[in-house]
Amino acid sequence: MTPPPVEARTGLAPWNRAELPAPPDTRGLRILGVVGPGAIVLGASIGSGEWLIGPSAVVKYGLSLLWVTLLAVFFQTVFNTELVRYTLYTGESVFTGFMRTRPNKHFWAGTYTVLYFLQNGWPGWAGATAGAIFFLAVGRAATGADARAVHFIGIGAYLMCVLVLLLGGRRIERTLEILNWMLVIGILSTLAVLCLAFAEPSRFGSAAAGFAGFDTFTGSFLFLPAGADWFLIGAFAAYSGCGGVTNITLSNWARDKGYGMGQVVGYIPTLVGHRVRLAHTGSVFEPDAMALERWRAWWRVVRADQWGIFFPGALLGMALPAILYTALIPRGTEIRGLAIASELARALSERAGPAMAVLLALVSVWILFKTQLDILEATVRSLTDMLWSANLPIRALHGGDVRRVYFGVMAVVVAWGVIAIGLSQPIVLLQVSANVAGFVLALGALHLRHVNTTLLPPELRPSRARQAVLVAMAGFYGFFVWLWLMGGLVPDPQRGFLFGILRRMGIG
């Protein structure tokens, strides 16, 4: 009996065969019409780590933490390009690639589904949006007494994300791309102007030194502060850049953008758009001379998307809010309550008056709402792709229309989100999310290396140097996961997150 091909040994259908489509013209400004998935992950990153967790960490501990951001964004940029490498060759999302590895498709589908809910099942961005909306409506920051009102505003913001996804343009990926281009250009420009207006010049030098781990406040290198809150530091490391499963969803967006073999397999349309066939298995090409020439052209598109957009944008996206927050809020301040999204607006109003505070609150609303939209869509999209690839009965039940699966999954995710949004304060939910993201990045880096070195033909596999970066990335994020779980390099039962969970379970 002939054994199944390597890609079909875990129960998924084998790949089809097709020709690699010709890449688009990228000369001059035409490249701007080709890139786009990098803007989506960049937009998602600005609203989580850069706008909430990053400022919480640097205000408390100083700008020297920015060295973590530099390494994290470097690792994630390499990781992102490797995610798209798989999609260029197969037209599949990398989640399907993960499901093609042992032990079987069900194990990895279940594992990444659980990780998706642990990381993105907490709509803390909608909750933080509610804090900024409350500030706009009432003219003051929310307090504990306002928790009920903030909770219902957050639910409303969350449901508004659903409406955008229901009624957006024909292709959901394109809708997100347009929204994120608007956010990235508008927000980074606004932040740059505000930093020039309200931060002293030395603050820019402090940020630059911080990328090397040097603390100008103490005049020494300070890589990890003594007595640090590892829950916060671990979250800062994971959400510098994008983080976790949202990074991995880049491959789904690249497929729907039509990168490489993504043009062959179809995409997920909106509910109001016309039906589009989405193949349940990928199509691959023979790496002959013509295909390899096209491959290299596609790879230039991927590099432009990630190194030209995501990498510099993610560094600026963390540095500019860090400069502005530390210029206006005293070092050591705790900003983690219901008012976190409006704290900068409050501080700026003392310097520039209420009009500027309103502007900052509006910026916060837009950033956080749009990030929640990205996170919700990424979760629903990835779960849909895993179900679509793995389960023939689901495809048959829905008549081959992926929209029915997509919006059915959305209903489940949103129902849970409405419950979860009231479980804790937004920043706590986001810290849980971010620390799970650190674990996902450690696991995903090693898993992706395995996929790209076993399922892809030798001509298309990553170099040894790129493989080494993925291994180093797993070590980097594993280090911060250890600090978070154990409470420090040496396990500390009083501070480690894992020990706290065990105590709540009555163990230890």
Token pair recorded at residue 12:
């998924």
Token pair recorded at residue 446:
């090693």
Q: For residues 4 and 456, which has the higher predicted lDDT (pLDDT)?
A: 456
Residue ranges and CATH numbers for the domains of the chain are 11-504 (1.20.1740.10)
| Single-letter amino acid, residue 15 | W
Max intra-chain CA distance, the chain: 78
CA distance 348 to 345: 5
Consecutive H or E run containing 283: strand 283-284
The 10s digit of each residue's pLDDT in 381-397 is 888 888 888 776 776 66
- Residue 70, CA distances (Å) to 211, 324, 397, 442, 445 in order: 6, 18, 47, 17, 18
What average pLDDT is seen over the chain? 85
Helix extents (H) in 329-463: 340-352, 354-390, 392-397, 402-420, 426-454
CA distance 98 to 112: 9
Residue length of the chain:
508
DSSP, collapsed to helix, strand or coil, labels residue 284 as: strand
State how beta strands 214-215 and 220-221 pair.
antiparallel
pLDDT above 90 covers what percent of the chain?
Answer: 38
Q: What is the mean pLDDT of residues 104-109?
A: 92
Least confident stretch, 142-146, 269-273, 452-456, 477-481: 269-273
Q: What is the mean pLDDT of residues 424-437?
A: 72
CA distance 116 to 131: 25
pLDDT band at 338 (very low <50, low <70, confident <90, very high): very low
- Residue 504, CA distances (Å) to 118, 189, 435, 488 in order: 18, 46, 19, 20
The 10s digit of each residue's pLDDT in 27-66 is 777 777 788 888 888 877 776 667 777 888 899 999 999 9
| Single-letter amino acid, residue 138 | V
Q: What is the mean pLDDT of residues 354-372?
A: 81
Q: For residues 155 and 135, which has the higher predicted lDDT (pLDDT)?
A: 155
Consecutive H or E run containing 325: helix 311-328
CA distance 453 to 463: 9
Q: For residues 234 and 83, which has the higher predicted lDDT (pLDDT)?
A: 83
Please report where in the chains the tokens 């990890």 appear, as a residue: 224
Which 8-state DSSP code applies to residue 456?
S
Is the pLDDT at 183 greater than 80, yes or no? no
pLDDT above 70 covers what percent of the chain?
Answer: 91
Give the per-residue pLDDT at 77. 97
